[in-house]
Structure 1
Amino acid sequence: MTDISLTQSKLLHFQQFQILLPDVRDYIRQHLPLDWPELESLLGVVLNQPLGSLSTLPLASCVAVGGNPKQAIPVAAAWEMLCLAMRILDDVQDQDRPEGLWATVGLPRAINFGTAVYTMCYELLAKADWSPELYCIISRKLIQAGLQLSSGQDKDLRGETRSVEDYWQTIEGKNASAFAWACAAGALCGTNDTSLVEACRGYGYHLGLALQLFDDFEGTWETSGLTDLAQGKVTLPVIYGCNLAHEQREKLQFLVNSGQIAAYEFQIRNILDSINTRDFIIWAALKEREQALASLDPLPQQEGVTALVAYVSVIFTHVEDLLLKS
């Protein structure tokens, strides 16, 4: 197996971008609407606590193409708002997390807050000290990513994803497009070389796919709350089981098509285990990791590249443990 451990050297490169995260928080705080204290209170999770590593992606992408990471702070701030908005609205639609905002303030206010946080993305980009041309390019790409997100989520909500090909189209919209935007927008703050921007976009795209694959893995086998099966969700493990030729395929297809996933959760999980579905999901995630790393080859600035490599490596730190459990 390829060595995917996170070396101390890579960790140091990764951590140095976190020095700028307080500046990202301050940028968000500076541009909050003054007449809506409830929104500021909601954003306390972002403004009053250390930001997670997601914010480093646009910053590292900017450096990887030879730019100054401070120019990408507005992108990192908008990216934080986009992630929070997606989390709020996803919780509204799924209602599977009792700690979700919807359970605290009710569905109508949660929808309103999610929409407001998404709108903040554009406000933060509009306030950036950029040329009008750069603002137009980055905001237009966010609009395109937003439409892809909504399209992918609608496809998922319709419950029409039944083939592996359908699944890939869905997660391209739901997750990959968002990460692709964050990395490409960060790169645009450092260069107008389209080949370098595309390299960062490709990295984010495949990173987003890998993260979604792990999310589906955890939702079936590693979650501490309700599993995806208990909620009747059709995610990649189930889709794989329904499309692979095996002895219990017709039984699995019947349970899925008749809406009995939740009622037969344990039996379905046993079927998935019997056909090595865990190995398939992890293999697919490893392939996305390979493509994410390969996308970085054209980038000129090693400091930023090393940080991006470190980020994707962290995801796979425990992959060997997952394989042992399978």
Structure 2
Amino acid sequence: MRKMLVTGGAGFIGSEFVRQAALEKSNKIIVIDKLSYAGDLERLAELKDKYTFYNSDIRDKKNISRIFSKEKPDIIVHFAAETHVDRSILDGTIFIESNIKGTQILMDAARAIGTPRFIHISTDEVYGEIRKGKFLEESPFRPNSPYAVSKAGADLLVQSYIRTYNFPAIIIRASNNYGPWQYPEKFIPVIIAKIMNGEKIPVYGKGLQCREWLYVSDCAEAVRFVTENGKIGESYNIGSGIEKTNIAVAKKTLNALGKNNSHIEFVQDRPGHDFRYALNIKKIKELGWSPKIDFTEGITKTVQWYKDNSPWLMSKMNSIKKYWKKVYKKI
């Protein structure tokens, strides 16, 4: 049995990865999560005794070293990060500290015990925006938000460890995720939560910003695939090939909720808003992975999950309302 340590395993994407990885009897799962506002062990409730949990901030060097020395994981999959662009615009400090310093502390602890494989989860936002074409793994970094800069810094730090220390890392850059269990600060769960609360749907600017939308189970499956089959020292883009503008996503989600477009309210655009992201995923496809869930199926599943789990969504509403007021400003 091999030990797989997952940072941020109580988060949105990390928990989906843990749920999938726990299905394999050969894996012993260890989860590290500081349980911030966006972390929730309820996401792992179905696993019961199938994982070992440590409540720790990845910036806590002493504690991380203690956990790594005790567990001696064979594989580290690093999801833990501050992830929301809007929050990074309000205050980017925690993003720099967690995403860059935290990643360094994890890599140093992994080096100290000789962990043979470290999977770093990055983002398409490190590339910046692209008007035409798609980003390759070799495309230059041009991050445009404090969040994106923090992830680009972590990404470059991992690359430097690969080069300097022969560190056994693989980097994954994923496109926009959506699906069950996503905290209602991200666009699709915001739409669902607002409708359930009898409020208007906030759409930035004219809603023409375009993203590549990847269903969370596809993302987690791709990470698992790269963990098993990826080459040390390489980077892999993970995307769906499904591009949608924000206004199209809003309308599609409203339709799945049985609502019309009169619920849309355009709000002041956020500063430095990237217009479009798109990833070339030829490299991972040639390795043997392709996405499975199309957007219609994904939205249908997502809306149904939130309907079935409305108590969980509503439990997050009170803590998010003040944040919504700070971010969504009427035009």
TM-score, normalised via structure 1 length? 0.32
Structure holding more helix per residue: 1
Structure holding more strand per residue: 2
Which protein, 1 or 2, shows the higher relative CO under an 8 Å CA cutoff with sep ≥ 6?
Answer: 1
Which protein shows a greater Rg? 1
TM-score, normalised via structure 2 length? 0.31
